[in-house]
Structure 1
Amino acid sequence: MYRVLLVDDEMEVRSGLKLKIEWTALGFEVAGEAQDGREALALLENERYDLVLTDIRMPIMSGLELLKQCAENYPELKVIVLSGHDDFHYVKAAMQSGARDYLLKPVVRSELSSILGKLRIELDSEKQAMFHKHSLQHQLKKSHSVMQEQLVLEWIDNDDPEKVPSLGSEIHRLGMEGWLDETLHIRFLSVEIRVPRGRLGEREEGNHLFLLAFQLVCRETAEDPAIERGAFAFYHRSYPQMMHFLVAAPTAEEGASLSEMLCGQIQMHIHRYLKAEAVIGIGASAQGLASVRQGFLSAMLAWSQSHSGSGTQVVFSHSGQDDFAELFPEAEKRLTLALENGDLDRFSAALESVLHSGNTPIQGTASFLLRVILLMDKVAGKYRLDVPETQHWMFPDMLWKHRSEASVLAYLTGTAAKVIERIKNSKVSGGVEAVEAMRRYIDASYMNEISLTMLADRFHINPTYLSELFKKQTGSTFSEYIAQVRIGRAAELLQNPQLRLSDIAELVGFANASYLSIVFKKHYGVSPNEYRNHPADPPT
């Protein structure tokens, strides 16, 4: 029901208007009454109204003055003017002040009903337009947040210095300067939710809705005004029981203080809203974009040292592991190459060279084990392979079972053998699975920046070979397929008149509206605006 405010200095007139028609049948309800303009403004300040029916001549504040105030302060409000004078000057003044219509007293039932019917259609249309606007704003915000999270994940997964410039160019475009900047001191917090036994009843294993609630609580915690500009929450799909935070501050001391406050907020909110506990690993503080990957691993290593059980814990990264962390990038490259080439002997030899180098602290054995497990999980992920053994890191007790070098070597070599076997089987399939995985990735991530080189690296296939394989299986080149997906989605969004062309360009992954127009016309033969104006005549 749309709310109506009746304004007239005569009570009999107001009562007559209420009784004259069936307001509810027309979609309205008389929600308030006032005897002059000042009293009406007081009601408008405290309550929402959609329509005002007001007399022109009233004491204290006239209807014309009320109209001017409404036009200035409540531009969306509809106003109908009532008057006992059929005077052109009154009509003109009322219309110039923003009145929707003008009725003479005594009001004729049919005339008022007709006007209300038209206003009902207009109000319905505006309500629908507002809904679409809010939906668009939500979609744009969600899309922007997804792209920001994707950028953070790209930095975390990147171990190739040559990719740093391209990743760096995305920081400004996505508004991430407040978290990813060479001058800032950063650290990561990795948060695992631990649910007390019986908390979820029979649904305790893999409760999807509960994990979504956990993610929502973490994101809303990061959006707290006291924290928002210094902490960014994100989800890594490889770690379903966890959420992660990137904390950035001008100095290490400020970063430590912000991290401490954030930990307290996370623990309090998870306990209050989810009746669960949080185990938080806090990584070492570092400066510069080159430290992003190591900073994330530092937080994961801290988390890996937590104790079993459902109690709340905060575990800090220990400086005793840093020497080993500097050694690892070189070893990581050798291990990765051995896995991808299917060379288990070389993988084992690379492991032994690190373990026997004397640079691994005794307390760092579990940390080393975690690093290698994460590396194997990453390599398996390039081929979209599910290797359960690479998920054992999610159980801290498993990591601490392997204390000796011999035990670590045997466990990691055995896991590597399974990964290599799955990779070989994937390559034998002729790349069909990889191309299908690429298509799914493009279909889901078309709004982000996607390149053949990036996907070739993701699926560990030679770019030239992947390009040929993609065209052979899809009938389109890589670039053509991305353009088809983006343009197809743009054509769907053009059906919404509330979306500007610049909004659509951002939503589908084009740099700007001009480029979208060029590609759209080349693809369909008509401009986006021509297509929008003739939706019943789709281009072929």
Structure 2
Amino acid sequence: MLTIFLVEDEMIELSLLRDHIDWAGMGIQVAGTAKNGRKAWEQIQLLKPDIVLTDVRMPIMDGLQLASLVQANFEWMKIVFLSGHDEFGYVKSALQTGAIGYLLKPINRAELSDVMAKVRDEVEKENLLRISRHVLIEKRVEELYRSGGEGREQSWLDLIRIDPRFELKKYVTALIRGDRSCAADIQPTLRSLLSANAIEGFVIKLNEREWLLAVPFEAGADYECNWHELISAIKLAHDRSVIIGIADTAAALNRAREMLGEARRAAEESFYIGYGHMIHSGQAREGTDTVFASEDALLLKELYAHDRPAFLSRVEHYFETLVRMRASRQKVQEVALDVLKVIGTACAKLEDQAKIEIGEQHEWNREMLELDTVPNIMSFLLELAARIGRYFEERGQDRHLLLVREVAEHIDKAYAEALTIDQLAAKVYISPNYLRALFKEKQGCTIHEYLTNVRLSKAVELLADRTLKIHDVANKVGYDNTSYFCSFFYKTKGVTPNEYRKKYL
């Protein structure tokens, strides 16, 4: 259905036009109305109707001035004028501005229907031309980003021949790279976001995991907000994480290949920082091939000694160093294979059932080489080492009790911190719900009760030091809110902290 915008300075006539014409019967929907050209122009820029039906003579900005603005900015938009019988001079000027027709007041419905039928034909022709023209433009733009040499030069000449304005337009280029979690095509989502933000950009699918986005450069535009919105929208629509690499250079599309190269270098940072980020080409760091040798003997000793925390800590140290160095993908994989070799050696004598449950080295190697980021590689190694470490522990001990003890020991040391069940569960590589159940079973109380008891015990000790104020004691045992601490203390001990200090200490 076509859309029309109505402009008439007489309120009664405007209401009649809007409410008493069978626009739907002509396949037209009223997009908006205004009483003068200036107000109309503000809305037309936002609504972009197919047709503007405007009075010729109006205050503030007349129909001729409005038509000139429309034709200069939206040459495809069709103008129809309304005029009185004594305004032939205006009508003649109106037709010279590119209007498709005019109607005399009062409006004859048959004439209106005939004019709108003519307008519909013109709009449909214009739409076909616009679609064909847009397809040609998109094809040339894609060629500029993909090709080089003479082919690129010819594509550029063809593009500015179709629309000379491209010679002066600058574009921002972004490369969007998706993780391997799914094969969803995010191109429709990208196009929808451009449309929703009224951005006339280009979306090009480079391969199954990469898409290119080129948007017109505007000084002062908040592109950062758009990039973050894009990352969130893709995650929400496709459950797929992406990284967006952005070229710092904004230039005309004859430099498309160079801008794509910058954006690609930025996107390569996904190997080091993972997905769910945006990064500019100026933030990308050069890699290094500095030799980085893993200390196999020490790793092996720690694994055999069942010192799982030390082993995991050393693995984390290796990969944090590799990221800081921006070591090459090959070097990172070499170190990972070294660590897998150490783990494999330690597990060489495990019984067959353990190998079925945990896997064997050739399986680990294959799975690791399929991972495409350092965070994923490190997580894979840490999880594997944790599984094996727990296996060693449970051969002679209740591993569930060990996990609970480890959590309790951490609470004993870190009671003053803002501890959460998610943090505690992450330390022992199990889910929060599973940890809650285990802790209750092995310790005889909930994690919250245990933490509360530890904090209460520490608070009583600190109250003995009369140089400490009550809010100091509260802070030292993990409570930022002194009132809450006093309330909790009173409910537990039956007296306030001050009263306890005076009465018992």
Please report the TM-score for the alignment, with normalisation by the length of structure 2.
0.37
Please report the TM-score for the alignment, with normalisation by the length of structure 1.
0.35
Between Structure 1 and Structure 2, whose CA radius of gyration is higher? 2
